[in-house]
Amino acid sequence: MTTAHNEAMRVHRFGATAVVTGWLVVGGHGPSGAFDRRYRFTDTWVSRDGRWQIVAAHDYLVPSRQP
């Protein structure tokens, strides 16, 4: 992996719980050559003792478009 960044992150807060959605975009080189991947993610955070802790995470690899 040579690059990685998040895009379009949104926080949906419900009291002491927050759901964060967004895109993870990564690129790099592997055994088959260069690659670019986009993942849609949803993370769930809970505020405990004044600190935010992630309690669940889900990533979905979006299939690449074929011409």
Task: Report the topology of domain 3-61.
Answer: Nuclear Transport Factor 2; Chain: A, (3.10.450)
Is 59 buried (19+), middle (13-18) or exposed (0-12) by CB count in 10 A?
exposed
pTM to 2 decimals?
A: 0.81
pLDDT tens digits along 29-58: 999 899 999 999 999 999 999 999 999 999
**How do the domains of the chain map onto residue ranges?**
3-61
What CA–CA distance (Å, rounded) separates 41 from 21? 6
pLDDT band at 1 (very low <50, low <70, confident <90, very high): confident
